[in-house]
Homo-oligomer: A and B are copies of this chain.
């Protein structure tokens, strides 16, 4: 298997497509394959986007993608000169991966939650992914779980943990807390309370069989992520849905969205994927 990684260009969509094409070619070279050898490619991207048409509507964190309505799937397919390209939101790809071969395999009702620099998610209910009317459903990280206004964004997400502390990323805050830094300890307690509320809300509102939790913070700090979620569900969620819900770690780890993208491309290229489209 070939693998290639490179930074996202910040000079607009054309540069991003060129970097993606170069990355695909490098990965194929490493695997001793040609473009003609691949039938389909999957692209995991931040939203909001339209997974059916392969158009990225807007993406805040990449220059040139704000209100761009950029047909990235078609452009990438054309520039690759071969395979069909299927795009979906990173969290949707992760849910496809976990649902197909990972921690949610066999579950018809599950939530994938990523806890890293931000909190995001995807919802599968009754065996179908919840998309919403404009394909943006699943943004569970932005369910407001706090009512005071002492933090900039009231989502209580882990993005805010790092921001609130003034650190580049959440791992620094956890390291500070381990040395007894009172401000770090307090902010982590706050983030745990927000996650706990989110878990109770997910269980009560969606009644999932599993909540699969991925993302770098969840992976490295399960005691501060999965455990508070489990405790809150047991203590505060309604009895019937609480008894049915298991909080489990991602089975596919850091590559969950990449693996999901490959599985999504395979399924969609063969006319399948009905459950997540």
Question: Residues of A at under 8 Å CB distance from B?
Answer: 48, 57-58, 107-109, 121, 123, 125-126, 128, 130-140, 142-148, 154, 156, 190, 193-194, 197, 200-201, 204-209, 236, 238-241, 243-244
Can you list 26 contacts pairing A with B, beta carbon distance less than 8 Å?
A: A48-B238, A108-B133, A125-B131, A128-B128, A130-B206, A132-B244, A133-B209, A133-B241, A134-B241, A136-B240, A137-B206, A137-B207, A137-B241, A138-B205, A139-B205, A140-B204, A142-B204, A142-B205, A142-B238, A145-B145, A145-B147, A147-B147, A147-B148, A148-B148, A154-B236, A201-B201
**In the assembled complex, how far is the CB of residue A200 from the closest CB belonging to chain B, in whole angstroms?**
5
With a cutoff of 8 Å between Cβ atoms, the chain B residues found around residue A146 in the complex are: 146-147
**In the complex the two chains form, what is the Cα distance from A201 to B156 in whole Å?**
12
Count copies of this chain in the complex. 2
**In the complex the two chains form, what is the Cα distance from A244 to B133 in whole Å?**
7
Q: Quick one: given A125-B131, A128-B126, are A205 and B241 in contact (CB under 8 Å)?
A: no
**In the complex the two chains form, what is the Cα distance from A133 to B156 in whole Å?**
27
The 5 closest A-B pairs by CB, nearest first: A132-B207, A143-B201, A144-B197, A137-B207, A133-B209
Do A206 and B147 touch (CB < 8 A)?
Answer: no
CB-nearest residue of chain B relative to A245?
Answer: B133
With a cutoff of 8 Å between Cβ atoms, the chain B residues found around residue A243 in the complex are: 134
Do A131 and B126 touch (CB < 8 A)?
Answer: yes
Do A137 and B156 touch (CB < 8 A)?
Answer: no
Do A197 and B238 touch (CB < 8 A)?
Answer: no
Indicate the member of A121, A136, A145 with the most B CB atoms within 10 Å: A136
Do A193 and B147 touch (CB < 8 A)?
Answer: yes
With a cutoff of 8 Å between Cβ atoms, the chain B residues found around residue A201 in the complex are: 142-144, 201
**In the assembled complex, how far is the CB of residue A188 from the closest CB belonging to chain B, in whole angstroms?**
14
Do B130 and A240 touch (CB < 8 A)?
Answer: no
